[in-house]
Amino acid sequence: MPAGKKHRFNQNWMHRHLNDPYVRKAQQKGYRSRAAFKLAEIDDQDKLIKPGMCIVELGAAPGSWTQVVRERLGFASQALRGKLITLDMLPMEPLDGVLSLVGDFREEETLQVLQKVLPDGGCDLVISDMAPNLSGVASADSARMGDLIELALAFSTVHLKTGGCLLVKCFQGSGFSQWVESYKREFRQVLIRKPKASREESAETYLLGKGLLPRA
């Protein structure tokens, strides 16, 4: 991108960011990013988060989704009713009551640590707002997104309880129908969610699998 265009793009992004109502709401509520409202909207609709659950969040940093889960597990009552475990390759600023693991869930060493802290039978819900670093090349970005979705699905089929749920970010476009089909092989119900907090012009959407099928 030529320097002049890049400069104008940065200016336009900053203007939009500073005038974004969800950015202002996040600042008012103390959320680490506007992404908090995406999960809040989906949970308001689908009632995924319930006190007493064990929830694993993949790719949690900077932690805005973690803050929402923590609130809805009852932390406002000064006692986290349930268990919240986060995984990320980057360290995250700690949150009371949250067990944050630093590591790559594709690596055996990280999985062994996770298995030690998961309750017998696994977790009730896996959530992931992970996205690849975008190159601007649609086919390449779709392939990278697909890799993350497949990893989250593979992780969930091992660590979710039967009947559990998985929520992941994805992109509308190339590969989307295949991702939906892969979900349908593992879950009783597959839903597509586009929360209002997700910018309308963005290809970003969320894929929700409800009711993990029993393992063969």
Active site members? 169
Contact 100, 58 (CB under 8 A): no
Rg (CA), the chain: 18
Three state DSSP letters for 1-45:
CCHHHHHHHHHHHHHHHHCCHHHHHHHHHCCCCCCHHHHHHHHHH
Beta bridge partners of 126: 56, 166
Task: Say which DSSP state 194 is in.
Answer: -
DSSP element (H, E) containing 169 = strand 160-171
